[in-house]
Structure 1
């Protein structure tokens, strides 16, 4: 098909499906009009009694001669990438909350008192301890055995005095906990799974945030956002 001048390109936003076309046009620097679905509906309501993809495309093309829609603004790709990263960050946050909720329910069966070990349960140390002491019965072994188990299983450095205090707390909590399942219950495997899952998600969340900062730090808006208290 031959054109005397470059044709108008107009299409409706249809979520992730239209993004492929939009990206193709952006990469090749083709101007286009990217319509919000609601705007497109209002413009074509009088023209499409039989709504389908083929009729919509045909009517958009025909009305372009009448409406002469303005070309859409092409956003800097870095902002689009930051939007994708932000959505993934929010998804990871959601997964972290879901993981904590699921683990809370399982811990009521295996070791309910352990949730009071730290003032907050957002420390990777707490979650790593759950993979080592997922059931209250583990705290009822000898004090030295429990100290050795924890010392061998954790990935962070802990002094003897701090470890000793931690073991005393765990043993005290184990004594007043009343598990609803045996130490060989599959619920114990679930505790370990969710604890490891939280650690993984927490690490991914940090990686995304670091990558976002690295990508955004040279943008003009970055210093403005950084100047906002809190």
Structure 2
């Protein structure tokens, strides 16, 4: 007899609905040891292997899924957008209890397959990947704010390294946030302050100091040296240094952790031209153990690019993507297509060939749909390579594509 537990998770408590032969029992538990023990008693009382379904609600659902993992219970973890669609189709009014009931009802009707449990290392990788993503957002925000304040104190400073802005640039801005800070110093003094920059010696520092002095003489600031805007420049330059260092530490931790995996998935991903180490690690972090998917279409659904899209040979019919899946993974894969295309100038890749061919014959100026189609091809390639434990080979991939088109 089928017994289903539908659980609607909130920040402090969860609503539980037990569905058995059309009859329901509903109650609330707190998201702590006491509440989970109450749920455990119920799970053991009703059945040895009950069906459990809940919605993935970010950090809120992590505690209850860990509890279920520790007691070796299988469960279905629904993407929030998919859960919303299910509930909208079934409920008449919005309450937490209705959500729990309709989750249970959806499982009873559709029999979703339980999530396959993954080693803890994948959860750790994803946590680091999400922290890396948040730091990237913070860096972009701080860059924009620094730009705003530099326009008032020393806008010419933004031209000193052309487009190559990194740690050395942030240090330089922190040292000389206002053009008057440079005007007050001799070239030799400026050179001494920057000679310890990474990749710099006294000669290179001297050239940079001369250029900096010239830019300071050209500048006409909107504020004085002792105005608050100068302090804001220093603050954001320092913040960017800290954020960049923090992100680098997350990157190193991810790479170190990925190298402990009992397979060569990281090496396989990096064999695809254009996929650098950090991109490969983040793909692994967001997709998890790719072997748990029965076919590439399941990965498409997990990422959220699974909609109505028909492809046969060179024919594509593109509809809107579902966006029901992992948004961070979509972003990483989207960027990866650009990296693969860029690397193709020296390292050919059949994915880049496809991307360029579709761009060439596209009737529109927007290439986002073509990139999404290319992500499909990338995911199929990744899946096959990892399932068969093979490194990427352009000639093999090209021949397989030709055979596929002929068939």
* 129-138 or 163-172: bigger deviation: 163-172
Q: How many Å separate the matches in 1 of 2:232 and 2:82?
A: 49
Correspondence 1:162-181 to 2 at 5 A: 162-181=204-223
Task: Map 1:61-100 onto structure 2 (within 5 A).
Answer: 61=104, 64=107, 67-100=110-143
Query: Which 5+ residue runs of structure 2 have no aligned equivalent?
Result: 1-41, 275-407
Q: Distance in 2 between matches of 1:110 and 1:147?
A: 23
Alignment of 1:59-208 (within 5 A): 59-61=102-104, 64=107, 67-143=110-186, 147-148=188-189, 151-152=192-193, 156=197, 158-208=200-250
Shift, 1:155, TM fit:
5.1
Residue number in structure 2 paired with 1:226 = 270
Tell me whether 1:9 sits opposite 2:83 in the alignment. Answer: no
Contact 1:147 1:163 in 2 (8 A): no
Segments of 5+ residues of structure 1 without an aligned counterpart are none
Q: Is the 8 A contact 1:113 1:173 kept in 2?
A: yes
Q: 1:69 to 1:114 in 2, by over 3 A?
A: closer
Is residue 62 of structure 2 the alignment partner of residue 19 of structure 1?
Answer: yes
Residues 91 and 4 (structure 1 numbering): CA distance in 2 closer, same or farther, change over 3 Å? closer
Q: Structure 2: how far apart are the matches of 1:23 and 1:110?
A: 52
TM-score, length-normalised on structure 2?
A: 0.50
Q: If you compute each CA radius of gyration, which structure gives the higher value, 1 or 2?
A: 1
Specify which structure has the higher proportion of helix: 1
Per-residue CA deviation, residues 86-139 of structure 1 (Å, 9 max, x unaligned), is 222122222212211211111111111111212334231121111111111122
Alpha-carbon distance in 1 for matches of 2:152, 2:193: 26
Deviations 1:47-81 (A, max 9, x none): 53233111232344466555554322223322222
The structure with higher relative contact order (CA 8 Å, sep 6+) is 1
Instruction: Check whether the contact 2:195–2:202 (CA below 8 A) recurs between aligned residues.
Output: no
| 1:152 Cα deviation from its structure 2 partner | 4.7
* Whole-Å separation in 1 of the counterparts to 2:127 and 2:213: 46
> What is the CA distance between 1:40 and its match in structure 2?
4.4
CA contact (8 A) 1:140 1:175 kept: yes
TM-score of the aligned structures, taking structure 1 as reference length: 0.85
- Distance in 2 between residues matched to 1:4 and 1:114, nearest whole Å: 69
Report the CA distance between 1:38 and its aligned residue.
Answer: 4.9
Aligned length: 228
Cα 1:142/1:65, change in 2 over 3 Å: closer
Aligned residue for 1:9, secondary structure, equals strand
- The Cα shift of 1:228 comes to 1.3
Of Structure 1 and Structure 2, which has the larger fraction of its residues in strand? 2
Measured on the aligned residues, the alpha-carbon RMSD in Å equals: 2.6
Q: Distance in 2 between matches of 1:46 and 1:28?
A: 33
Cα gap change, 1:45 to 1:135, in 2 (>3 Å): closer
Measured after TM superposition, the shift of residue 13 of structure 1 is 2.8
